[in-house]
Structure formats: structure tokens, C-alpha cells
Structure 1
Amino acid sequence: MLCALSGEVPEEPVVSRKTGTVFEKRLILKYIQENGKEPGTDEELDPEDLLDVKTSRVVRPRPPNFTSLPSLLKAFQDEWDALVLDAYNTREQLARTREELATALYQHDAAVRVIARLTKERDEARDALSKVTVAPSAGAASNGDAMAVDNEALPDALAEHVTEVQQQLTQRRREKRPAPEGWASPDEVSAFQKASYSDLSVSQASSLDVESDYAAIGGLDGKVDIYAIGANNVERSLDIGEPVTSTVWTGSKVILGTSKGTVKVFDNGSETASFQVHAGAVTGLAVHPGGRLLASVGVDKSFVFYDLETLQRVSHGYTDSALTACAFHPDGHFFAAGTQSGDIKIFQTADGQQMVSFHLGVPVQALVFSENGYWFAASGKGQQTVTIFDLRKEGAAALVKELETGDAQSLAWDRTGQYLATVGSTGVTVQLYLKKAKAWSEPLRTSVPGTAIAWGAEAKSLVTVNKEGVVSVLKA
């Protein structure tokens, strides 16, 4: 009897109950431990299925071919020949494997080089595009020199609209109106705590905006949830199909910017317009105080204005750096854009011309204007502070205050200009400016982390969302 695994006479033979095959016991037990099946079949085999075979304990004589020196030499020669042939086959397989590996590495290296070249050409093309604008006349470039042309201005009707809104809002501000009746007091804000929270269908939440008692929350998974703040539930979900990077809500319109450069307008849950103007991700959206103009900025170094009544693009401007955030002045006559290079550029809304630039020093992460009309707040990537700038001043004199807020990924100033809310990985803070005392204080600091924040009605609540898609409402 020979073992079915080794082909040798077994020292401790066993036989399978299922197939009657003879095995060496130690070999078949190792095979069962590793595979759980009988060799050569798909049937399961357990050690209990093996029967010991009783054999006589007689010393086996040596085979006749190992009883003389010539026979032993012949056996050794055969073994050596087998080893030489096996080594040759192994070297041959190794050579083939090396050739295949070299070919695969060459193809991978070539693919990486092609991707790198195409990426470089794309970046160069975007950079060139960001610096080129349309000449006002054909004769202006007749000398063959590079053209330097102004940004596009708004159509006359929209420019007049911007001027009218500015005059109305500036006049109201000059009246020095007190805070509206019923507005949250500092004591109420200091008593804020997490009153409710809810899990959203949105994952990797990136942006948030509040309108009345509802919040629109967009995520990088391409979904948007409409969350009812009072009822603490999601009333509607929209599938955008592209990662959402920015969200604003004005009237009945929810407007979304995506990582693919698309700006989508939804009215009462239905898509009414889609713009593909940016050559890269949209990084910020802002609505003009008059409610008619929409602005978007992107990594392609451009800002675009849209008419929300006609749903048309109305102007396009370029800067010298990728744009990361934007905001309209409370009167609407200025438009601010934060850059990757650490500057905040202020443009005239009507003609798109740059008026002044403020230096933050790091890539701008969030940007928001105060209702007082001359302050704006900005936070930078990696900073633990929020910087307050004064529009009326330039250079170092423009820096009003640096607030120790911790990481601030999103900012929200209430409509009275008293409270500045911040949120980031370190939690939520509210910074209070008392105009009479001309001093800052911090009535609230919590450990609720988030990526976006917005004030609720009458500043009596704060709505924040974290990157895991959990929306929280803070109130007294």
C-alpha cells in the first residue's frame, strides 16, 4: 500500500471511509487542517473519517537497487539529473517573470509620464486662460503685444439695479437703527447649547445655508438635504450627481456649486438652470443683497455673475490666483473674493474692477461682511484665529482685531453685526462686539465640531453640520 499524497509506503497508514484511499496519517491530518477536504475531491473530510490500518511491525528490507555501490551511484546520478532539470526550469520561469515585470514597470512609468505631461498642460492652459480677456477692439492688439483687458461689466439694467440697492441700504444704515425687537440678547446667546441634532442622508457635508425655518445642506456625495429646523427632520433630498462644494438659499431658490465647475439653480425642488462656466471646482457662492444677482468663484481664478431673474450669465472676471471664498458687501456695491495666495480682493460689482486688496497670508478659507458696512472677517487654512479687517483703511492699519477662535472653517455674522459665529474642528464660538464699549468678548464656546454654520431667525439659534452629516441646532 502506498500513500496517495507521498507515493511512499506509509509508516502509520490510515484509510478514508468515504473513498477508501490510503494516506500517511501525519500528512493527511495536515492537509485536512489546511483545506478541510479530501485530496483530489471536493468532499469534506474530518479526522474522524480516517480509519487506522493495522500493519505488522516488521523492519522493511532495503530495496535491491540500494544494496551495491554501483546501484547507489546510479540512484545518486538520477537524483542529481532531476535536480539540475528542476533548477533549469526554475531559472527559465524566473527569467520570464522578470521580463513580464520589466514590461509592466515600463508601461506604468510611461502612463505616469503621460498623466504628468497632460496635467502640466492643463494647468498651463488654465493659467493662460485666467490671464486672457477679450480685447475691446481689433486695433488694440495690432502691434502684436500681449493684451491686458478689463473684466466684463454688468449690463446697464443690472448696474442700475446695483446702484439703487446700494443707495437704499446705505441710507438705512445711516439711520443707525437699533437691533430689531426680539433679537437675541448676549445672555441668551451665552446660554446656547445643543438642543437637537439629526443624522442626514448627506455624507461628507460641505456647505449649509438657512432660509426661514429650513436649512439646505450639501455634501461631497452629490446629495442635498432640506432640513426643517423646528421639526428636526429632513423633509426633502435632492440628488445632484456631482460633489456639492457650496450652497446658498435665497427666496424659493436653492443654488449649488459643484466640484466639476457647475452652478445649479433649484426652485421649489425642481432644477431650473445649470451653468457650466468654471474650468474647475466652484469654491464659493454669494447672493447680492438685492436678491437678483448671484456670484460664483472657482479654482480657475475667475468670478462669474448671473441674473437670477433671466437665469443668464451676465459677466465674467479673472484674477491672478485661484479663488476660495466670496461675499457681497451688505450694500451690494462691492464684491470680495478670497484667494489661494492669501489675499482678499475687493471688486466693484458693477464693472468688475479691483479696488483694493488685503493680505491674510494663508489660503483664505471663509469670508463674511459685517452689517456695519466697513468690517469683514476672514479665516485662513491652518490658522487658529479669525482676522477682522476695516475696508476704510489700507495696509497694516486695516487690521482691526485677531480673534482667538480655534480652527474656523465657516463664519457667520448676524444681521445686526453684533455676533460673529465660527465653527471648525475645535467647535463653535460666538464673538460679540459691543459698540458702546468698543470691546470684544466671547459669550459662547462649545465643543460641537462642524464644517459649516448659519444663524437662525432673530439670532436665537445656530445651525451647524459636521463632515459626518450630523446637523445640530444650538439655542437657549
Structure 2
Amino acid sequence: MLCALSGEVPEEPVVSRKTGTVFEKRLILKYIQENGKEPGTDEELDPEDLLDVKTSRVVRPRPPNFTSLPSLLKAFQDEWDALVLEAYNTREQLARTREELATALYQHDAAVRVIARLTKERDEARDALSKVTVAPSAGASNGDAMAVDNEALPEALVEHVNELHQQLTQRRREKRPAPENWVTSDEVASFKQASYADLVVSQASSLDVEQEYAAIGGLDGKLDIYSIQNNTVERTLDIEEPVTATLWTGSKVVVGTSKGSVRVWDSGNEVQKFQIHAGAVTGLAVHPGGRILASVGVDQSFVFYDLETLQRVSRGYADSVLTSCAFHPDGHLFAAGAQNGIINIFQTADGAKVTTFSLGSPVQALVFSENGYWFAATGKGQQAVSIFDLRKEGAAAQVKELQTGDADSLAWDKTGQYLATIGSTGATVQMYVKKSKQWSEPLRTSVAGTAVRWGTNAKSLVTVNREGVVSVLKSE
């Protein structure tokens, strides 16, 4: 039986009561729904006029062209040809992909080589620039390069430096007593961790304190303003560059970055950005008069700025990468520690080198004592802090070696009595008694960190570790 509409064996056969014609049920129902009559006639036809035919399920026969052996062989041959063609196309695409991959790898290798060559040329150019040599004039009698002298400060700033030097030196000769309400040795000995807080800065690198506030810079490009009294972060500045050095002077916060910039912020707003150094800034220092700012960097140079006019005023050079710096408490000398273990002493006014001291390893930190003739320094990998005397030379200049453990940061109080150190093994305070000319250690604590500063009247120590936790140590 075949369907009168499709001509195929129906899956669900029905028969018309009126004509006895066989239909596929789904087809005739759709035809009735659209036309309302039986196909091939004008008689009306309703679904009730259809009778289901009860039969066993019919298996559709294969088309006649597949029933003979030649047809089957031809079908197998066609399938085989299709498989062979597909395999050929796949191999061709694989070969083309391999060629493209080889080309891409070659281009990547060439790009890496070009970058390495350019980086080497850049480093060589920076090294040559840091040595600051200029070609001789056409009339020179030989081909030797002529060294450029360090720049001197403008005349107005030279007068400022000289006047302040005389005033501060005279005051120091008067043997002033310690200020009232200054910390005592017993109070230092009783210092304990009184408070701590997690900062927004997650990779703290530097710290400075001004009265009851601390500025903490981080390698994540953030700078937190932390209230010591309230133990809270009151403001976070987005520096946008990894901060490598932090300095607070008056209302201004100055930061040095790994990209060579020195940026000055005042009341939360950036007022100046200097881009002088060719490479990271490694240290900042402010002159006792508060007007001259100094920065040192990996380009072997030190730069002086006028904080009143916000202008660069002079520049000088050393023989090695500079890692730290400090002004003498009288302001007439400037010290810069170097990667080669040499501490260079320059005159502030004209940048001329006065003398050098050898530490023996890359200088990590350096700070002057208020007495005017001592400075402390520590080097990478050293387990001690060395005390140098400016009045002496050679090996005799190193007058004391304090066994503090490794130290990343040093801080001398304003009276020159207490020297604070901090490193991975903890913090210490070294005390010098002038009458007995003896050193003692009133405090050693396990609070580790990367930077340390004294609080107001040296009544507290503010420390910060690399994980961005600031701690305040003080007596109960």
C-alpha cells in the first residue's frame, strides 16, 4: 500500500470511508485542514471519515539503485575516494600550519634579539652619559675627552647655604642641652609595639615622618598618609609609578620612583614632576634649611632642586651607581653612598668632592649625627652598622662597629643620642653616652621592617615592613 499523496509506504496509514483511498495520516490531516476535501475529488472530507489501518510496522526498502552489486561497489568506491581526499586536505593544512608556526617562532626570536640588543645599547648609553664626558673642541691638541665639572648652585642658594652653615655651627658649639620632654633611655628601653595597621600600600618600600603623620610609599605605585595618633590611613595618593624613596618636608611630600621621576605633592595635589634621572631614583634628602631637595639615582648622578621655585638648580656625578644620600646637619656637606661601597662627600655649594670613605659593600643606608662629625652607614649583606668620623681619614675614620644584625634603614634622633636600625631580623636602638664615651643597646625587638623613623620628641618609633604593615613602638 502506497500513500496517494506521497507515493511512499505510509508509516501511519489511514483509509478514506468515501473512496477507500490510502493516505499517510499526517499528510491527509494537513491537507484536510487546508482544503477541507479529499484529494482528487470535490467531496468534503472530515478527519472522522478516516479509518486507521492496523498493520505491522513497515521497513522502507532501499532504493533500487542500491540493490545490485555494481551499485554497492560504486558506493564503496565513492566513500573511499571521499576519505582519501579528506586525508589529503588534512595533511596539506597541517603542513601549512607548521610553516606558519615556524615563521611566527622565527619572528618572535628575532624580536627578542632586537629587544636584547636595544636594551644593551640603552644601558651602554646610560653608562656613557653617567660618566659625563664631552668631545674636545676642534682646536684641541689631543683627542682626549674633557671631563665636565659638577654644577654649582645659583649664587642666591650659595649664600643661603653659607649663612645657614655659620648659624648652625655656632649653635652646635654652644653645647645645647636636650630639649624638654625628650625621650629618656629608660623610656626607650620600655618601647613595645603599641599599635599597628594594614596599609593600602601592599609593597612598602620607604617611609618618612612629619610630626604625627607618616608617608609610606610602595612599589605598587601608592602613597599612604598615616595618622600615628589615630592609627588610621587618612589618605592614599595614586603615584602611578613604583615608589622607591619618600621624603616629607613641611607641607610637601616628595617621592622618587623607579622610572626616574621626582614628584612633589602639596596638600594632596601634585605641584611638580621632575624627570631628570635616567633610571630609578634611589634616595632623597632635604637640606637643613628646608629649601634645597636632593635626589640620587642609578645613573650615578645627584640632583639639587629649589623647593620654593620648584626648579632644578644643579647636578653632579659620582663614579658608581648611587644608592642613598644625606645632608650634613649644618648643610654645607652632602653625602652619597654608592654601589661600589664608597661614601662620597661633596660640598653642597659647588658639588666638588671633598673626601671619600670605604664601607666595603654596596651602601644600603646612611645618616648623619647631630653632633656634626659622625655619620652611620650600613651595607648590603653586612650584619653591623659602621660609625665614621668626618675628622679622620682612611681606616681610622671607622671609629665604631655596632652589631645590630642586617639593617635596611637607619634613623638618628635630633640629639644624636639614639640610633635606630631596622632589618629582617628586627629593630634596635643604639645609645651613645657622651660623658662616658660608651655605646649601649637599650632596645632590641623582633619587629622587622624595611624603614624606621623617630616620632615626635623621639617618644616613639614608626616602622613599616614590606608587606605594608606599619607599627608604632613606644613606652607604656
TM range (shorter): 0.7 to 0.9
Percent same amino acid among aligned pairs?
A: 80
1:342 equivalent to 2:336? Answer no
Residues 133 and 151 in structure 1, CA contact (< 8 A), matched pair in contact too: no
Residues 1:113 and 1:182: Cα distance change in structure 2 (over 3 Å)? same
Q: What is the match of residue 148 of structure 2?
A: 149
Q: What is the match of residue 269 of structure 2?
A: 270
Residues 1:134 and 1:332: Cα distance change in structure 2 (over 3 Å)? farther
Separation in structure 2 between the aligned mates of residue 140 and residue 322 of structure 1, nearest angstrom: 34
Separation in structure 2 between the aligned mates of residue 195 and residue 188 of structure 1, nearest angstrom: 13
Q: What is the match of residue 222 of structure 2?
A: 223
CA-CA distance at 1:156 after TM superposition: 0.9
Give the letter aligned to residue 165 of structure 1. Answer: L
Where do residues 165-176 of structure 1 align in structure 2 (5 Å cutoff)?
165-176=164-175
Separation in structure 1 between the aligned mates of residue 166 and residue 138 of structure 2, nearest angstrom: 38
Where do residues 310-459 of structure 1 align in structure 2 (5 Å cutoff)?
310-459=309-458
1:116 equivalent to 2:116? Answer yes
Q: What is the match of residue 257 of structure 1?
A: 256
DSSP 3-state at the match of 1:396: helix
Residues 1:102 and 1:430: Cα distance change in structure 2 (over 3 Å)? same
CA-CA distance at 1:133 after TM superposition: 5.2
1:285 equivalent to 2:284? Answer yes
Give the letter aligned to residue 145 of structure 1. Answer: D
Residues 134 and 145 in structure 2, CA contact (< 8 A), matched pair in contact too: no
Give the letter aligned to residue 187 of structure 1. Answer: D
Separation in structure 2 between the aligned mates of residue 132 and residue 446 of structure 1, nearest angstrom: 45
Separation in structure 2 between the aligned mates of residue 140 and residue 361 of structure 1, nearest angstrom: 43
Give the letter aligned to residue 151 of structure 1. Answer: N
DSSP 3-state at the match of 2:312: strand
DSSP 3-state at the match of 2:178: coil
DSSP 3-state at the match of 2:334: strand
Separation in structure 1 between the aligned mates of residue 405 and residue 84 of structure 2, nearest angstrom: 71
Where do residues 124-143 of structure 1 align in structure 2 (5 Å cutoff)?
124-132=124-132, 141=140, 143=142
Range 380-389 or range 81-90, more displaced:
81-90
Residues 133 and 150 in structure 1, CA contact (< 8 A), matched pair in contact too: no
Residues 1:100 and 1:426: Cα distance change in structure 2 (over 3 Å)? farther
Give the letter aligned to residue 474 of structure 1. Answer: L
Separation in structure 1 between the aligned mates of residue 106 and residue 286 of structure 2, nearest angstrom: 52
Residues 1:131 and 1:430: Cα distance change in structure 2 (over 3 Å)? same
CA-CA distance at 1:303 after TM superposition: 0.5
CA-CA distance at 1:119 after TM superposition: 1.1
Q: What is the match of residue 469 of structure 2?
A: 470
Q: Which runs of 5+ in 1 are unaligned?
A: 1-80
Runs of 4+ aligned residues of structure 1 deviating over 2 Å after TM superposition are 81-109, 137-145
Residues 133 and 145 in structure 2, CA contact (< 8 A), matched pair in contact too: no
TM-score normalised to structure 1 length = 0.79
Over the aligned positions, Cα root-mean-square deviation in angstroms equals 2.5
Separation in structure 1 between the aligned mates of residue 362 and residue 90 of structure 2, nearest angstrom: 58
Cα deviation digits, residues 372-394 of structure 1 (max 9, x gap): 11111111112221111111111
Give the letter aligned to residue 384 of structure 2. Answer: T
CA-CA distance at 1:145 after TM superposition: 2.7
Separation in structure 2 between the aligned mates of residue 474 and residue 204 of structure 1, nearest angstrom: 21
CA-CA distance at 1:279 after TM superposition: 0.8
Separation in structure 1 between the aligned mates of residue 139 and residue 395 of structure 2, nearest angstrom: 38
Separation in structure 2 between the aligned mates of residue 314 and residue 246 of structure 1, nearest angstrom: 20
Residues 263 and 274 in structure 1, CA contact (< 8 A), matched pair in contact too: yes
Separation in structure 1 between the aligned mates of residue 290 and residue 377 of structure 2, nearest angstrom: 23
> Radius of gyration: which is bigger?
2
CA-CA distance at 1:350 after TM superposition: 0.4
Residues 1:232 and 1:99: Cα distance change in structure 2 (over 3 Å)? same
Q: What is the match of residue 17 of structure 1?
A: none
Separation in structure 2 between the aligned mates of residue 89 and residue 446 of structure 1, nearest angstrom: 74
Separation in structure 1 between the aligned mates of residue 175 and residue 133 of structure 2, nearest angstrom: 42
Give the letter aligned to residue 130 of structure 2. Answer: S
Where do residues 56-95 of structure 1 align in structure 2 (5 Å cutoff)?
none
CA-CA distance at 1:94 after TM superposition: 7.3
TM-score normalised to structure 2 length = 0.79
Separation in structure 1 between the aligned mates of residue 426 and residue 229 of structure 2, nearest angstrom: 23
Q: Which runs of 5+ in 2 are unaligned?
A: 1-80
Separation in structure 1 between the aligned mates of residue 86 and residue 295 of structure 2, nearest angstrom: 70
Separation in structure 2 between the aligned mates of residue 96 and residue 449 of structure 1, nearest angstrom: 59
CA-CA distance at 1:102 after TM superposition: 4.0
Separation in structure 1 between the aligned mates of residue 446 and residue 85 of structure 2, nearest angstrom: 72
Residues 132 and 147 in structure 1, CA contact (< 8 A), matched pair in contact too: no
Q: What is the match of residue 187 of structure 2?
A: 188
DSSP 3-state at the match of 1:474: strand
CA-CA distance at 1:111 after TM superposition: 2.1
Separation in structure 2 between the aligned mates of residue 275 and residue 431 of structure 1, nearest angstrom: 37
Separation in structure 2 between the aligned mates of residue 350 and residue 140 of structure 1, nearest angstrom: 32
DSSP 3-state at the match of 2:128: helix
Residues 1:290 and 1:351: Cα distance change in structure 2 (over 3 Å)? same
CA-CA distance at 1:107 after TM superposition: 2.7
Separation in structure 2 between the aligned mates of residue 329 and residue 118 of structure 1, nearest angstrom: 40
Residues 1:212 and 1:106: Cα distance change in structure 2 (over 3 Å)? same
Separation in structure 1 between the aligned mates of residue 100 and residue 137 of structure 2, nearest angstrom: 59
Give the letter aligned to residue 214 of structure 1. Answer: Y
DSSP 3-state at the match of 1:164: helix
CA-CA distance at 1:122 after TM superposition: 0.6
